[in-house]
Structure 1
Amino acid sequence: MDAIHALAAQLRRARHILVLTGAGISAESGIATFRDAQSGLWARFRPEDLATPEAFRRDPGLVWRWYAWRREQVAAAQPNAAHRALVELAQRRTTTLVTQNVDDLHQRAGSTGAICLHGSIMRTVCSVTKLEIAAGWLAAQTGEPPRSPHHADGLARPGVVWFGENLPADALERANAAAKDCDAVLAIGTSALVYPAAGLPALAQRHGAWFAEINPQPTPLTPTADLVVAQAAGLALPAVLAAWEDA
């Protein structure tokens, strides 16, 4: 049995599937990952030097403009075949979708209830209170970034988790609970370098889950996987669904 049919058979037997997605699935829609070279005006900056609280304190305007550019990239991108296949998978089996991505491609594809461990680039929050700032209010403001309506000392900032910040406690708690409950875990397009997200497959395995990885490149998770599909997710996931009835 080839890897695609083996994965289809395992997922078909599953009661609860935990899906963990990383930047690779969005890269297939044209959204650059943090490990890709920057382009245009941003070529001289390292993303790791912009996506930090320290960078925002040092030069909030620079960070605000960089995220505005990234939001434009996200808005121009479209969900791909892998995003759509995960929507269909959730219609066939109970699925918990946990994503490290800050774009909204899963949601635009039709996924509901995604656990966004690293926040959302499409949200804007107060830098002090972390309360969300309405898009309509923002549109009427000036400044890069605008002042926050929630706190006198606050600025508008992207609703993402920066390097050095803690993950949202509720999101992490729900992801860990799903890892402990699932009987199959599927890691898709994640570099497996960023924790605690990268630890979810191991947590699931300790609780008896079967683990498969879909990634054209090997990762630190590859040696621990029960099955590896070394393909792009946009090719592999539709093929898995097509093989479902034959598995």
Structure 2
Amino acid sequence: MNDDVVAECTRDVSRVAVLTGAGISTDSGIPDYRGPNGVWTRDPAAAEVFTCTRFMSDPTVRARFWRTYLGHAAWHAEPNPAHRALAALESNGPAIRILTQNIDGLHQKAGSAPRKVLELHGGMREVVCTGCRTRTPTADTLERVAAGEADPRCTACGGILKLGVVLFGENLDPNTVALAEKVAQACQLMLAVGSSLQVEPAASLCAVAVNAGARLVIVNRDPTPYDHLAVGLVREPIGVALPRITAALAAAPPDATPVSR
């Protein structure tokens, strides 16, 4: 997408929604899932670890899950230029809300206000007991895994512990979905960044935005099921493209519509 198209897509925009997927974090050293070198592309069987039914019924699946997160790259990852560009836009541009499919917390670490980041699939910093619903820091559970507990249980009730994320087969929190839909309906520009747009209902937020009159720009290396709805398709690296788009948004004069930040 050339500079003229960027300027046209960002013109008169005072409300931006950004849907982010795993691709925005690959430059931070966190592998994506479905790309050519993605976790599930290289090892399709690994996806079953993230299936709720298998996780809840099979202790060997849970053991593999906890081993995976014991050494997960996200624990030491730092935000990259794409995360920082979105964070900078908060104080120097239109009102922005981030709807992320990621669980790594890098948007907040980059400086995005937590209240402006909606984690559609949960976050990896907490563990929840599936029995008594007690939430505890993930670090506590991983310490137990590192010490030799393959399938640690809740210390309060003995229930199965699960990372505070949405697994395949689980429904997203309805309040989170409702809020995300409101953000999508209210935005003038929807940026879909680094997402394959294959996981619903998060991907359908693109259609929600377009149906409400917003422009859709997709920044992703590979084609997506929603490309036909977009006014702009960006295939260049996210760490290059997103700072360029946010710079255009910061420079463009907003429309006259008052908006609360």
Identify the residue that residue 16 of structure 2 maps to in structure 1. 17
Unaligned runs of 5+ in 2: 254-261
Identify the residue that residue 173 of structure 1 maps to in structure 2. 178
Identify the residue that residue 98 of structure 1 maps to in structure 2. 99
Q: Which shifted more, 216-225 or 158-167? A: 216-225
The answer on whether the counterparts of 2:124 and 2:138 sit within 8 Å (CA) in structure 1 is no
Post-superposition Cα deviations, 1:126-145, rounded to whole Å, max 9, x if no partner, equal 12244311357547756233
Identify the residue that residue 197 of structure 2 maps to in structure 1. 192
1:226 and 2:226 equivalent? no
Quote the offset at 1:96 in angstroms. Answer: 1.1
Quote the offset at 1:79 in angstroms. Answer: 0.8
The answer on whether the counterparts of 2:138 and 2:163 sit within 8 Å (CA) in structure 1 is no
Quote the offset at 1:45 in angstroms. Answer: 6.3
Identify the residue that residue 87 of structure 2 maps to in structure 1. 87
RMSD: 2.4
TM-score, scaled to structure 1: 0.87
Quote the offset at 1:88 in angstroms. Answer: 1.5
Q: 1:212, 1:234 → 2: CA distance?
A: 16
Q: 1:21, 1:137 → 2: CA distance?
A: 28
Closer, same or farther in 2 for the Cα pair 1:165/1:88, shift >3 Å? same
TM-score, scaled to structure 2: 0.82
1:75 and 2:102 equivalent? no
User: Aligned with 2:71: secondary structure?
Assistant: helix
Q: 2:142, 2:39 → 1: CA distance?
A: 27
Closer, same or farther in 2 for the Cα pair 1:68/1:185, shift >3 Å? same
Unaligned runs of 5+ in 1: none
The answer on whether the counterparts of 1:3 and 1:229 sit within 8 Å (CA) in structure 2 is no
Q: 2:182, 2:43 → 1: CA distance?
A: 41
Identify the residue that residue 209 of structure 1 maps to in structure 2. 214
Identify the residue that residue 257 of structure 2 maps to in structure 1. none
Match for residue 121 of structure 1 among 124, 143, 146 = 124
Q: How does 1:135-146 map to 2 (within 5 A)?
A: 138=141, 141=144, 143-146=149-152
Quote the offset at 1:108 in angstroms. Answer: 0.7
Q: 1:233, 1:147 → 2: CA distance?
A: 40
AA aligned opposite 2:202: A
Identify the residue that residue 66 of structure 1 maps to in structure 2. 68
Post-superposition Cα deviations, 1:31-63, rounded to whole Å, max 9, x if no partner, equal 111224549xxx766231111123322022222
User: Aligned with 2:204: secondary structure?
Assistant: helix
Percent identity reads 34
